[in-house]
Chains A and B, each alone.
Chain A
Amino acid sequence: MSVGRVIRISGPLVVAENMLGALMYEMVEVGEDRLIGEINRIDGDKAYIQVYESTSGLRPGEPVYRTGTPLSVELGPGLLTQIFDGIQRPLPIIAGLTNSIFVKRGVKTSSLPREKKWYFKPRKELVGQKVSEGTIIGEVAETSIITHKVMVPPGIRGTLKSIVSEGEYTIDDVIAEVDGETGRTEVKMYHRWPARFPRPFHEKLEPTEPLITGVRILDTLFPLAKGGTAAIPGPFGSGKTVTLHSLAKWSDANVVVYVGCGERGNEMTEVLEKFPEYTDPWTGKPLMERTILIANTSNMPVAAREASIYVGITMAEYYRDMGYNVLLVADSTSRWAEALREIGGRLGEMPAEEGFPSYLASRIAEFYERAGRVIAKGDPSRVGSVTVVGAVSPPGGDFTEPVVMHTRRFIKVFWALDASLAYSRHYPAINWLMSYSGYIDTVSQWWSEKVGKDWLKLREKAMNILLREDSLREIVRLMGTEGLSEQDKAVLLIAKIIKDGFLKQHAYDKIDAFSAPRKQYLLLKAIINIYQKILEIINAGKATVAIIEEEMQPLFSELIRARYTIPNEQAELIQKLEDKIIDRLAFIAAR
Chain B
Amino acid sequence: MSYAESLGKKIVTSLTGIKGPLIFVKGASGVAFDEVVEIELYNGEKRRGRVLEVFRDLAVVQVFEGTTGISLTGTKVRFLGKTFELPVSESMLGRIFNALGEPVDGGPPVVGEEWRDVNGEPLNPAVRAYPNDFIQTGISAIDGMNTLVRGQKLPIFSGSGLPHNMLAAQIAKQATVRGEAEGFAVVFAAIGIKFEEAVFFKKFFEKTGALSRTAMFFTLANDPPMLRLLTPRTALTLAEYLAYERDMHVLAILTDMSNYAEALREISAAREEVPGRQGYPGYMYSDLATIYERAGRVRNKKGSITQMPILTMPNDDITHPIPDLTGYITEGQIVLDRRLYNMGIYPPINVLMSLSRLMKEGIGPGKTREDHANVSDQLYAAYSKAQEVRGLAMIIGEESLTSRDKRYLRFAEAFETRFLNQGVNENRSIEKTLDIAWEVLSLLPEEELTSIKPEYITKYYKKKGA
Contacts and interface: CB of A to CB of B under 8 A. Distances in A.
Interface of A: 7-11, 15, 54-61, 83, 91-92, 94-95, 100-104, 235-237, 241, 260, 262, 264-266, 268-270, 272-274, 295, 297-300, 302, 335, 338, 341-342, 345, 351, 354-355, 393, 395-398, 422-425, 476-480, 482, 500, 506, 508, 553-554, 556-557, 560-561
Given A59-B30, A59-B54, 17 more contacts: A7-B56, A55-B33, A57-B83, A60-B56, A60-B57, A61-B29, A95-B124, A95-B127, A264-B331, A266-B296, A295-B126, A299-B122, A302-B286, A342-B282, A395-B319, A396-B321, A556-B447
Interface string B116-137: 0101111111111111000000
Nearest to A546: B402
B56 A8 contact: yes
Interface in B242-291: 244, 273-277, 282-283, 285-286, 289-290
12 contacts: A91-B126, A266-B130, A272-B126, A295-B125, A302-B283, A342-B286, A345-B273, A355-B274, A425-B377, A477-B395, A554-B447, A560-B450
B53 A8 contact: yes
Contact of A354 (B277, B290, B292): B277
A266 B131 contact: yes
Given A95-B126, A299-B290, A424-B384, A395 B277 contact: yes
Interface residues of B, number: 79
Contacts of A92: 126-127
A8 B30 contact: no
A394 to B, nearest CB: 9
Contacts of B308: none
Contacts of B52: 10
Contact of B395 (A55, A102, A273, A478): A478
B447 A557 contact: yes
A136 to B, nearest CB: 32
A271 to B, nearest CB: 9
Contact of A58 (B33, B353, B384): B33
Contacts of B292: 298
Most chain A C-beta atoms within 10 Å of own C-beta, residue among B120, B275, B329, B377: B329
A423 B351 CA distance: 8
Contact of A500 (B32, B274, B283, B450): B450
A57 B33 contact: yes
A102 B121 contact: yes
B40 interface: no
A395 B324 contact: yes
A482 B400 contact: yes
A37 to B, nearest CB: 14
A36 B93 CA distance: 40
B152 to A, nearest CB: 8
A75 B357 CA distance: 35
Tell me which of B56, B328, B358 has the highest count of chain A C-beta atoms within 10 A of its own C-beta: B328
Contacts of A355: 274-276, 282
The winner among B33, B119, B357, B377 for most chain A CB atoms within 10 A is B33
Task: Across the A-B interface, give the 3 residue pairs with the lowest CB-CB distance, nearest first.
Answer: A396-B319, A424-B384, A298-B289
Nearest to A10: B53
Nearest to B277: A395
B265 to A, nearest CB: 14
A56 B83 contact: yes
A373 B31 CA distance: 53
A530 B31 CA distance: 77
Contacts of A56: 32-34, 83, 117, 119
